[in-house]
Structure 1
């Protein structure tokens, strides 16, 4: 693995392990922070994820694998599957919390829901860690921009998982997700998947990221600051286009 990939893997792991527990809202108003992060995330979706999905489809179109003959024009289906799976998991977690509030006076999920939720997010983190193996091919600015976008994404996802699962997440979940990133990073160093497989894996990851951004990182109108959102979008888009 290239040096930058390992450094970014450690940095992203620290988001889950320690940084996400810091109360940054004591320094920055919550609505401004979430709006700015949402703006950055939207810039990331339109200027990074969508182009990467297009590139993934091109990889499949040039694949000699027979199974890919059907998928070559349907790469977005893989992204859609990722989106639907994580949407379903989120609804499951919300229903579990609702049931526990009504029957057990507890605003957190049950144990099974917690472990299934953590298992799927661990898979995502392994994928992210694995894909960092190629980060060394990009410029320093591109590496920094990628880290900022994913770090903000991790921070807000971490906040959501803590809201769903409370103490079990702090005691076990965040450490599992921390380890998952490093497992993926080590796997990226140990072996390399084919371009077609990487394209499929990336598409699944992209779908889940899009869902999490739309559901968690875009604040509603009562908790948003348009100028912070606009500032985050313009700043990130400008840096991406100039990199």
Structure 2
């Protein structure tokens, strides 16, 4: 006897590639047109940006990290990282450290350039920054198809969190690199998402590898959010950030 759930599962599995492709295009569009959202270009920092940051952080702490604690056992069984305890969290820490180091390089370059009368980092630092975020965006495009939890609901939750996260990232990159980001950087990051999705469509990896990728992403999201919210000169809005955290946390717990 065929279970009623089997046709529904078949339809769901057939929809996911199409939905994920649509979402990849939407994420690419965010990088292309986010600069036109003039209401977020304000000091004190736009409350919308702080709310978006809160949503991204809530997704990491309420959805990704708890699932990674389960995936920890999957990785341990592979024996790949048998010599390290808490492998998944170390990978998340590595992701955070990588993006912290990258941010320090960009800020130091910008300070040096300001002494020369310029308001953007060196061109070489720009390309380092953009290539790093292109890989980051490609990873997110890839994970649209290969998430830690399958299903349309999981895809929607991931897309919403990453869409808002991209608005925040795009704002930070435009502040750092200005004209060169507008003319070149945003297009590279938009294409990187699509390339990541295409690679994801043509390949499939095991659950241990997916856990590793999500762990790295979790660390990257945390650092990229906090580096935008914490600097005093940004005059960020704590209450908007808290509302984003609280609202998305309640949504994730309710589903």
Q: Same fold (TM over 0.5)?
A: yes
The match for 2:28 among 13, 18, 23 is: 13
After superposing the two structures, state which structure 1 stretch, 112-121 or 232-241, moved more: 232-241
2:54–2:245 Cα contact (<8 Å) kept: yes
Query: SS at the partner of 1:67?
Result: coil
Matched, 1:90 2:103: yes
Q: What is the alpha-carbon distance in structure 2 between the residues aligned to residue 222 and residue 6 of structure 1?
A: 35
Residue-pair matches, total: 238
Query: SS at the partner of 1:70?
Result: coil
Matched, 1:182 2:194: yes
Report what 1:115 is aligned to.
127
Query: SS at the partner of 1:14?
Result: helix
- Please report the TM-score for the alignment, with normalisation by the length of structure 1: 0.88
Q: What is the alpha-carbon distance in structure 1 between the residues aligned to residue 141 and residue 51 of structure 2?
A: 25
- Please report the TM-score for the alignment, with normalisation by the length of structure 2: 0.84
Change (3 A) 1:10 1:190: same
Change (3 A) 1:216 1:56: farther
Q: What is the alpha-carbon distance in structure 1 between the residues aligned to residue 233 and residue 70 of structure 2?
A: 34
Deviations along 1:130-158, one digit per CA (max 9) or x if unpaired, are 11114693244x43332221111111111
Matched, 1:163 2:175: yes
What are structure 2's unaligned runs of at least 5 residues?
1-15
What are structure 1's unaligned runs of at least 5 residues?
none
Report what 2:212 is aligned to.
200
Change (3 A) 1:226 1:81: closer
Superposition RMSD on alpha carbons, in Å?
A: 2.4
Change (3 A) 1:56 1:227: same
1:47–1:240 Cα contact (<8 Å) kept: yes
